[in-house]
Amino acid sequence: MKTPRVTARAHTNIALVKYWGKRDEDLIIPMNGSLSLTLDEFYTETTVQFDSKQQTDHLILDGVTQPTTRVTPFLDIIRNQAGITAGAAVISTNHVPTAAGLASSASAYAALAAAASKAAGLTLNRQALSRLARRGSGSATRSVFGGFVEWQAGTNDATSYAVPIDEHPTWPIRMVTVVVDRAEKKIGSRAGMQTVVKTSPFYQEWVKKAQADLAAIKPAIAAHDIQQTGAIAESNAMAMHALNLTATPHFTYFTAGSLTAMHCVEELRAKGIPCYYTMDAGPNVKVLCEEQHVTAILTALQAHFDKNDLLVAHPGPGVQIIRED
């Protein structure tokens, strides 16, 4: 017997206050709360159907069959909750303007959580969906919601989930992505944060700083204060990346291109244009700014980067079911 075929769409998000370290590896409970902006430009669409005649799961990602090593344990959580044992067919497509290396586990697991839970017959509210997405990838916890989103760290499965801060911001906030490198990252976020938690002598200081940044950025966002919001986000990102340099073995996601982009943003700022950078577990640089300064920022970045490697995103929506048949 086959369940309905359900398709969900989820957008990626970029953290302004980062998650970088787990308190519980299995349940993915973070050491600190985090806060992100969901983006309209990059999203994943995933279709799921369970079939009781199928013993194993099958995954096609962007048209190519992939191993289900990470997806099967995630689907097992849903099968357990729904009381089914059927295998699933999962078809997932990442929508990014170019092969920009921006496909993210955040949009992937938020879309998979929504499509698979619905196909399995579960009716989950958004808090439950956020907790479920968390089990696939930490950052997916936040992609359940649109706009500005806080992931409340919590201490266990029941208390660790995201909440919307401002789902439909009237603030004309933008995120310019500088595609520095399209290659797959060498050190995945899972391994990177594990090394840092275990070995950085500054880890506890990071947790304190992230908590303080989280408390400070919320009123800055509410006030639509780009200087404050941007300064906190940039400082938080640099603290996260500094941790990586203090781990054993030390590592970094910075490349020469990342530094070029960051210097360019600093020069723009010196000229009075409020723009601020952040980076995740890869070399690409994201620039937070307001709509009115996008053109000036793109012009300056175009001196160093190809036009096609500069992508402008607006705030995006939370996860949605887009088809069911």
For ligand PMV, the binding residues (CB under 6 A) are: 15, 18-20, 34, 105, 137-139, 189-190, 280-281
> Whole-number minimum distance, CB 57 to ligand PMV, in Å?
21
Q: Least distance in Å: CB of 15 to ligand PMV?
A: 3
Distance of alpha carbon 83 from alpha carbon 283, whole angstroms: 42
What is the dihedral sign for C-alpha 100, 106, 110, 115? Answer: positive
Of 153 and 226, the one with the shorter C-beta distance to ligand PMV is 153
Q: Give the integer Cα–Cα distance in Å for 295 and 162.
A: 33
Phi, psi (rounded to 5 degrees) for 174: -135, 155
Strands 320-324 and 6-17: antiparallel
Cα–Cα distance for residue pair 157/80, rounded to 1 Å: 15
Q: Rounded to an integer, what distance in angstroms lies between the CA atom of residue 56 and that of residue 322?
A: 26
> At its nearest, how many Å lie between ligand PMV and the CB of residue 34?
5
**105 vs 177, beta carbon nearer ligand PMV:** 105
Please state the closest distance from residue 253 (CB atom) to ligand PMV, in A: 9
**Minimum CB distance to ligand PMV smaller for 175 or for 268:** 175
- Coil, helix or strand for 24? strand
Kindly state the smallest distance separating residue 296's Cβ from ligand PMV, in Å: 27
For ligand PMV, give the closer residue by CB, 138 or 147: 138
User: Judged by CB, which is closer to ligand PMV: 151, or 305?
Assistant: 151
